[in-house]
Amino acid sequence: MTSNHRGDVGRDPGGIAGLDITRGRAVPLIVGFLGGAALLAIVALVAGWWNGSSSPVILNTVRVERAIEASILAQRHLASSVSCPVNIVQKAGVVFDCVASVRGRQFTVVVTETDGNGHVVYVVT
């Protein structure tokens, strides 16, 4: 691009993305963008949205189901079928309900995670 005006030779009149970088307007934009990105990362970290990996640890609820079935069989000598929700975060203090079916009747099983390693306690109600 050429021009008869002094100072316009080789300069993009619109600048990068419409910015005139020769007047220093791009630097505050870049600094603002990076600052905003850093702030968002800090908020996400504090809020617990990001644990340093791409996804949270999910509790193996199939294993919980089998443990409850084995417990009912050992304690009551009854066969059962237990269903628990999926995608439960593996974290101490999380409480969720499963359903145990025994001889055509359904019972709620309240499950509480005791630690972040997948250990639970449960009570049939």
Confidence (pTM): 0.58
Question: What's the total number of domains in the chain?
Answer: 2
Instruction: DSSP letter for 100, please.
Output: E
- Measured in residues, the chain has a length of 125
If asked whether residues 84 and 36 sit together in one domain, one would say no
If asked whether residues 69 and 112 sit together in one domain, one would say yes
Looking at residue 46, what is its pLDDT?
47
Looking at residue 55, what is its pLDDT?
80
Averaged pLDDT for residues 34-62? 64
Domain boundary among the residues 55, 72, 98 is at 55
Q: Among the listed ranges 18-22, 74-78, 80-84, which one has the minimum average pLDDT value? A: 18-22
C-alpha to C-alpha distance for 21 and 29, rounded to whole angstroms: 10
Averaged pLDDT for residues 11-38? 55
Q: Are 52 and 75 in contact (CB under 8 A)?
A: no
If asked whether residues 72 and 89 sit together in one domain, one would say yes
Q: Which position has the higher pLDDT, 18 or 67? A: 67
Averaged pLDDT for residues 91-116? 97
If asked whether residues 44 and 67 sit together in one domain, one would say no
